[in-house]
Structure 1
Amino acid sequence: MLLNMLCLSALPAAMVFAAPASTAATTNATSTASSIQKPELNLKSAVLIEPTTGQVLYAMNADEPLPPASMTKMMTEYIVAEQVKQGKLKWTDKVTVGRNSEETIGSRIFLAEGDVHTVEELYIAMAVGSANDATVALAEKVSGTEQEFVKLMNKTAQEMGMKTAYFINATGLDKADMPEDFRPDTDKEDVMSAMDAAILGKHIVTDHPDYAKYTSIQSYKFRERDKAPIINYNWMLESNKSIPNFKAYAYPGLDGLKTGHTQNAGNCFTSTAVRNGERLIGVVMGADSEAHRFTETKKLLDYGFDNFEVKQAVAGKSKVEGLDSVPVKKGVGTSVGVVTDGDVSFIVPKGAEAKSVKFTTKLESADGLVAPIKKGTKVGTITYTYKADGIDKAQTKTVNLVTSEEVEKGGWFRLFFRAIGEMFSDLFEGIKNLF
């Protein structure tokens, strides 16, 4: 039970971000923070997040469910990669193409029923060329039918905390464009908010850090007989800086994730890029052209990289002001030290000093612990809160409070005489209070 609210205080100097080196630096940082200007985007919705903290840096209609088009395939990509990670699939496993794949229209690689390809070949066709037929083939490989796979997609979306996402197929096609015999019995369509797309992107880059092995491929020849390779729809890949048709859009550090386009959705893009070791994920939905979705994405990513950075507020294994230890019963010692079990980082304006970081603590028991106690035993939680200039909402991060050392159970002789000492102490205290 979380019973004991112990402390609400500004962090001590040892636990906040390092102060600027000079008064001039402080002045410049304050000026920078106050001059942050959000980009004006001509879109239906957009969002920008930092994936390690989950912090939202920019949001415009970010929670509105919209047709995601082929950004739907990010969920298919995630599930297939997860199946490989768990050993349920191998990249070298063979996939036999079914009629549903053959009849699937839109962006495709013209698979025929009975064709056999590896999971990896089809995955590349999906990730690079947004191939609908390859996507359906993978869905059927995982779950037997596309609609059984859709159940897994929706279940996974709920587990990820996606609030608006709902899928009716693995591809992002409108229901009317699916093969007639394989359409679901529903009047719903695929929907996903920009925020949900960002959450999905966050899980891809954190749970499968090798994702760029596939999403950054510029072109791929699927079959030897094919006259031309599949070309990646993502014009912003950093590697495109040497390609004449795309170099105007190539963005430093960009290596994914997924484009999308249908008449209903317009042009969409979930992007991710890394600069100076820090990664951002941006989502734009409802752009009016292919080029427009990339120029708006550049504005979004530039806003994040130019104005914000991640800084550590609290190192792991730090002591907490006002809570150095908790009482221990039946132990060799009568108390045990308490520390944080992980570090805490926040997004701050570039060059700014983080001020007024506060925290609250909660203990699981008001009565303390009972020996024996192992080092690292959880005793409660601590929640840090920080409001940064240029970011609308305060940031919070909760970590566990754990014991800093082991406490062995005391022997009966020690505990007996401790009890006698406590009894006389209570007696003398009671007598003193009489006078």
Structure 2
Amino acid sequence: MRARRAATVVLSSGLLIAASPFAATSAQAAPAVPTVSAKSAFMLDFASGKPVYKKGADTRRQMASTTKIVTAATVLTSPNLNLNRKITIKKTYTDYVVKKGGSSAQLKVGDVLTVRQLLSALMLPSGCDAAYALADAFGTGSNTTARTKSFIGSMNRKAAALGLKNTKYDSFDGISQAGQNYTSANDMALMTRHAFTSPVFREVVKATKYVAVATASNGKKRTYTWYNTNKLLGSYSGAVGVKTGTGTAAGPCLVFAATRNGKTYIGVALNGTDRFTDAAKLLDYGFKSTTAKTMQLRTLPAGAQQD
């Protein structure tokens, strides 16, 4: 929005000075710093890493399923990664989802899916079953318990390598085992910036829908259709990701990103009652736009996973 012609300009000191009509018309009004519902929030410029907004940015908080950003990043930076590697779904994974009441990609025991398919099952419907399958496949050890523990260790080493001081993982999907699965809004934004360097990650998280054709245990084909729980996609112009999360201790969480005119912002809203509006407000602040005022959230189909 361009400033209208004015006879005076108010300085931060409260003094008034005469203003040039030309300067007034060419200057752009600074956007107001937004108020958000999230207890912690942070946004950065993807290209430079420069912070744009902070609110309780270094406070440690549980992050629920936004943990899966790190799950995906750990898989995608594994040595000799083969996205076409086939993984068979075990009963252990599906039983875990039922026991924990976790979000699910509705994977079927005995079905065979590729790593690439499981990444979409992980990030769109927030499948804890997919998270378990990936952790088991990419961890090391002689049994499932050892392999998943190993994978979580890799997640923690990644956080340490990035210099994240307020982050720790005790799960591969955000269902904390002992309350030791936490991050800060600042740390989460830095981790997501790291994840965004992967073209595959960016491709996965920007999709509102993904259809996967898997091989069922009887050798026939099974089609899975997953919808992205991130309602900002398809609602906010330029939105390109990233991940929702909801938990009793964590509250509603959202990691988000958007690109306009070659500029990308990555943001985090932890424990917010209106996380999608929070994200839109913060992005508007960066882009100097007013999209949040008119944004209509995309609705998920009946029966789609919520997170």
Normalising by structure 2, what TM-score? Answer: 0.76
Alignment partner, residue 163 of structure 2: 161
1:243-289 deviation line (CA, Å, top 9, x unaligned): xxxxxxx011111111111121111111010111101011111122x
Cα distance, 1:200 vs. partner? 1.0
Contact preservation (8 Å) 2:251, 2:272: yes
Alignment partner, residue 68 of structure 1: 63
Q: Secondary structure at the match of 2:183?
A: coil
- Equivalent pair of 1:71/1:270 in contact (CA under 8 Å): yes
| 3-state secondary structure, aligned to 2:36 | coil
Query: 1:117 & 1:274 partners in 2: Cα distance?
Result: 31
Q: Which residue of 1 aligns with 2:130?
A: 134
1:313-354, CA deviations, whole angstroms, 9 ceiling, x for partnerless residues? xxxxxxxxxxxxxxxxxxxxxxxxxxxxxxxxxxxxxxxxxx
Residue aligning to 1:196 = 187
- The separation in 1 between residues aligned to 2:74 and 2:22, in whole angstroms, is 47
**Alignment counterpart, residue 96 of structure 2, candidates 104, 116, 120:** 104
Name the CA distance, whole Å, in 2 between partners of 1:50 and 1:235. 22
Q: Secondary structure at the match of 2:104?
A: coil
Shift of 1:229: 2.5
Q: Deviations over 1:286-325 (max 9, x none)?
A: 122xxx2111111111011108xxxxxxxxxxxxxxxxxx
Which residue does the alignment assign to 1:252?
237
The answer to whether structure 1 residue 263 and structure 2 residue 255 are counterparts is no
Query: Any residues of structure 2 matched to 1:280-299 within 5 Å, and which?
Result: 280-288=265-273, 292-299=274-281
Name the amino acid aligned to 1:151.
Answer: G
Q: Which has the higher contact order (CA 8 A, sep 6+)?
A: 2
The number of residue pairs the alignment matches comes to 253
> Which amino acid counterpart does residue 266 of structure 1 have in structure 2?
G
Q: Matches of 2:74 and 2:21 in 1, distance apart?
A: 51
Taking only the aligned residue pairs, the percentage that are identical comes to: 30
Root-mean-square deviation (Å):
2.1
Q: Which residue of 2 aligns with 1:148?
A: 150
**Residues 38-117 of structure 1 correspond to what in structure 2 (within 5 A)?**
38-83=33-78, 86=79, 88-105=80-97, 106-117=102-113
Q: Structure 1 residue 278 and structure 2 residue 263: aligned?
A: yes
Q: Tell me by how many angstroms 1:115 deviates.
A: 3.4
Q: Which secondary structure does the structure 2 equivalent of 1:229 belong to?
A: strand
Q: In structure 2, what residue type is equivalent to 1:46? A: A
Could you tell me which runs of 5 or more consecutive residues in structure 1 were left unpaired when the two chains were aligned. Answer: 1-22, 176-186, 241-249, 308-435
Query: Do the aligned residues in 2 keep the contact of 1:129 with 1:232 (CA within 8 Å)?
Result: yes
1:303 corresponding residue in structure 2: 285
Cα–Cα, structure 1 residues 152 and 26, in superposed 2: closer, same or farther, change >3 Å?
Answer: farther
Write the distance in 1 (CA, Å) between the matches of 2:26 and 2:251: 39
Q: Highest CA radius of gyration, 1 or 2?
A: 1
Question: Which secondary structure does the structure 2 equivalent of 1:104 belong to?
Answer: helix
Go from structure 1 to structure 2 and tell me whether the alpha carbon gap of 1:25 and 1:161 turns closer, same or farther (over 3 Å shift). Answer: farther
Instruction: Look up the SS of the partner of 2:132 in the other structure.
Output: helix
Could you tell me how far apart the structure 1 residues matched to 2:279 and 2:90 are? 37
Structure 2: 5+ residue runs without aligned partners?
1-19, 141-146, 214-220, 290-307
